[in-house]
């Protein structure tokens, strides 16, 4: 075992009655506090075990307890109750600039971080060239880090964290700061550490990265550990709760925007329009529903509806929509997941260059695959209808549709993707 949490709780005291000046503090000695302090429970009775060599994702909304958990593991904080056991050298990148002194240069901060991790100056001197090379900060390494940008902070911190050969690597949403190329470089190095059997704790709001990288995932919610399972199951639970809260938010906004009934209206109770029945909450479907995808069909090359698809043959995914009001520049999307949770692809009409000026009433959109590259297996299909910015969902079906694929005589059985290729033997 590398990390053990046994019934761990941690709380902080929130000062509700702030008395900043000397006069206010003196006066406060003679009168009761107007607003009592409040205990904020960052973690409540949390228990889990992380084994050597596991890569574990921590997910949850901001303030759910993820960062507190990492700070307990790194001994930055101590629990109010329970026990935390950590076996091995921990290298952590918790937040930008953590462990850096702003007046020291990048090079000096490398040695400072090394000393905090228990390395001698001679040991760190051997590691410095690799750290500087990975950070790509050669031109700025002898500049005080107070002049660094947030991206430069992240580069240097990550370079130190992964080049000190830790037993346990902890990253807390730091990759979101770096540019695309450096993020890829960091993820490549994380995968290398994973292959070497290092234990990794990975905090991210990028669910795709958690699915791809992690062996397990923990979902924290208001200080409680809600789910400890496979990444797919944990993320599904988290998204179901998130989608329900988002649906409640949309309904509240609609109710707030609804016009008040006119005073003295002559409309009788019998003439009043009956409200629409409430739609039962579906954790795998969300959106504001000004437009909806009400039917999804799978079609073969002849345009006939099929129940199963075949490797190497044509497949069309037809999305029938109903627009309850005109929608300008909508975007239709598709995603295919293997039944194990692996995300295979996620195209959309906007990225493909298809601009739909407006939809109104009914119609359909086709996503056509000329030669289906999926090998035999069970897959899950998502369809979605978004606004042009891809930030507002009108209707999103998350893996609600089954896609069964049978293999033709292609001579391949293993994996998920068929790649046309040839073998040659030379003597």
Mean residue pLDDT of the chain comes to 84
pLDDT score of 174: 65
Structure tokens at 241: 């709760």
Least confident residue range of 17-21, 308-312, 362-366, 371-375: 17-21
Task: Read off the pLDDT of residues 302-336 as tens digits, 9 standing for 90 and up.
Answer: 999 988 898 889 999 999 999 999 999 999 999 99
pLDDT band at 221; cut points 50, 70, 90: very high
Q: Which CATH number describes the domain made up of 291-406? A: 2.70.50.60
300, 338 in Cβ contact below 8 A? no
CB-count burial class (<10 Å; 0-12, 13-18, 19+) for 109: buried
**How many H helices and E strands in the chain?**
8, 18
Task: Read off the pLDDT of residues 113-130 as tens digits, 9 standing for 90 and up.
Answer: 888 777 888 988 999 999
In this chain, the answer to whether the domains covering 3-19+31-236 and 291-406 adopt an identical fold is: no
Task: Read off the pLDDT of residues 272-295 as tens digits, 9 standing for 90 and up.
Answer: 443 443 456 678 899 999 999 999
pLDDT score of 188: 87
Structurally, at CATH architecture level, domain 3-19+31-236 sits in 3-Layer(aba) Sandwich (3.40)
Say yes or no to pLDDT of 392 above 60.
yes
pLDDT band at 25; cut points 50, 70, 90: low
Q: Can you name the residues that pair with 382 across neighbouring β-strands?
A: 335
Task: Read off the pLDDT of residues 51-92 as tens digits, 9 standing for 90 and up.
Answer: 999 999 999 998 899 989 988 998 888 999 999 999 888 887
- What are the domain boundaries of the chain? 3-19+31-236, 291-406
Say yes or no to pLDDT of 347 above 60.
yes
pLDDT score of 48: 94
Cβ count within 10 A of residue 213: 20
């Amino acid at each position: 075992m590398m990390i053990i949490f046994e019934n761990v709780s941690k709380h902080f005291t929130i000062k509700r009655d702030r008395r900043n000046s000397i006069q206010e503090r003196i006066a406060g000695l003679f009168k009761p506090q107007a607003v009592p302090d409040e205990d904020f429970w960052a973690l409540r009775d949390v228990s889990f075990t992380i084994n050597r060599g596991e890569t574990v994702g921590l997910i949850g909304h901001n303030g759910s307890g993820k960062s507190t958990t990492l700070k307990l593991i790194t001994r930055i904080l101590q629990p109010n109750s329970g026990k935390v056991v950590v076996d091995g050298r921990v290298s952590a990148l918790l937040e930008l600039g953590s462990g850096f002194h702003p007046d020291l240069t990048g090079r000096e901060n490398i040695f400072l971080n090394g000393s905090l991790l228990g390395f001698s100056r001679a040991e760190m001197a051997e590691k410095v060239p690799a750290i500087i090379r990975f950070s790509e900060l050669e031109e700025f390494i002898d500049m005080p880090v107070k002049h660094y940008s947030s991206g430069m902070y992240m580069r240097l911190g990550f370079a130190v964290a992964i080049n000190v050969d830790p037993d346990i690597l902890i990253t807390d949403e730091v990759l979101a700061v770096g540019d695309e190329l450096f993020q890829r470089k960091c993820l490549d190095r994380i995968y290398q550490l994973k292959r070497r059997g290092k234990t990794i704790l990975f905090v991210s709001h990028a669910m795709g990265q958690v699915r791809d990288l992690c062996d397990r995932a923990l979902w924290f919610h208001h200080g409680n550990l809600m789910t400890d399972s496979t990444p797919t199951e944990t993320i599904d639970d988290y998204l179901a709760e998130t989608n329900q809260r988002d649906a409640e938010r949309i309904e509240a906004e609609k109710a707030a925007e609804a016009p008040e009934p006119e005073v003295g209206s002559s409309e009788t109770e019998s003439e009043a329009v009956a409200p629409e029945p409430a739609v039962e909450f579906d954790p795998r479907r969300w959106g504001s529903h000004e437009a909806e995808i009400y039917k999804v069909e799978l079609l073969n090359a002849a345009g006939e509806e099929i129940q199963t698809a075949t490797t190497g043959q044509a497949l069309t995914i037809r999305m029938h929509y109903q627009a309850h009001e005109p929608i300008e520049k909508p975007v239709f999307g598709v995603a295919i997941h293997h039944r194990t949770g692996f995300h295979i692809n996620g195209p959309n009409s906007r990225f493909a260059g298809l601009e739909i000026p407006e939809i109104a009433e009914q119609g359909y959109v086709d996503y056509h695959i000329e030669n289906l590259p999926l090998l035999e297996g069970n897959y899950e299909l998502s369809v979605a209808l978004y606004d042009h910015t891809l930030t507002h969902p009108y209707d999103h079906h998350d893996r609600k549709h089954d896609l069964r694929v049978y293999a033709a005589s292609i001579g391949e059985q293993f994996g998920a993707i068929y790649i046309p290729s040839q073998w040659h033997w030379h003597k």
